[in-house]
Chains A and B, each alone.
Chain A
Amino acid sequence: NAGVTQTPKFQVLKTGQSMTLQCAQDMNHEYMSWYRQDPGMGLRLIHYSVGAGITDQGEVPNGYNVSRSTTEDFPLRLLSAAPSQTSVYFCASSYTGTGPQHFGDGTRLSIL
């Protein structure tokens, strides 16, 4: 079983470049979310979705866009990358927002 798949696993960008981090799940989960993890900051919620066509902001949404056109996919877009967005990004999914989250392996993003 694939579970939650994130691509790419590693990426280096230059300031100002745009990028889409991909996330796909094959568990028919309605709820999907994106977190970033920085040293000493824990996991911080960027955006989340309770179902196809519905997205909402988390704790740190600025600089990121999301869309949810299908149940399976929840891409995260950086429109103009900044060094402050250097982080490890995790995508997660669950049946509901109050259920156990299944995490992808993460994308390690560096912005120079």
Chain B
Amino acid sequence: GQNIDQPTEMTATEGAIVQINCTYQTSGFNGLFWYQQHAGEAPTFLSYNVLDGLEEKGRFSSFLSRSKGYSYLLLKELQMKDSASYLCAVSSYNTDKLIFGTGTRLQVFP
């Protein structure tokens, strides 16, 4: 089976940097996704990591260590609009399923 852990809630200040961690256990790891979900809305795709290392996309970066079963999402220059839930999801080549963690609710304060 698959097991994905991420913190339930985090808070940060506007303009700061925040790191949201995700640890996972799965057989046949094929890739890790990060999604953003604002309250009352659908999740939207942020990033995808399949190889070890850092993927940078503007203010957002995502890191993966396959050997440690660990990923993080780094948000820089936080803005109020970044207040949302951030969902970590893992895919496996053993199945065609994409399994999500419970999500991290980030609140950004002025």
Interface of A with B (CB < 8 Å)? 31, 33, 35, 40-45, 48, 50, 56, 58-59, 90, 96-98, 100-106
Contact = CB atoms under 8 A, between A and B. Distances in A.
B42 A104 contact: yes
A97 B96 contact: yes
Nearest to B42: A103
B109 interface: no
A60 B93 CA distance: 20
B5 to A, nearest CB: 11
B97 A43 contact: no
B91 A90 contact: no
Contact of A100 (B33, B87, B95): B33
Contacts, number: 58
A59 B99 contact: yes
Contacts of B87: 42-43
B30 interface: yes
Main secondary structure of the interface of B (DSSP, over half): strand
A105 B42 contact: yes
B100 interface: yes
Nearest to A4: B42
Contacts of B89: 43
Contacts of A105: 41-42
Contacts of B8: 40
A52 B49 CA distance: 28
Contacts of B96: 31, 48, 50, 56, 96-98
A43 B89 CA distance: 9
29 contacts: A31-B96, A35-B100, A40-B102, A42-B87, A42-B101, A42-B103, A43-B87, A43-B89, A43-B100, A45-B97, A50-B96, A58-B97, A90-B42, A90-B43, A96-B96, A97-B96, A98-B30, A98-B91, A98-B96, A98-B98, A100-B33, A100-B48, A101-B33, A101-B98, A102-B45, A103-B43, A103-B44, A105-B42, A106-B42
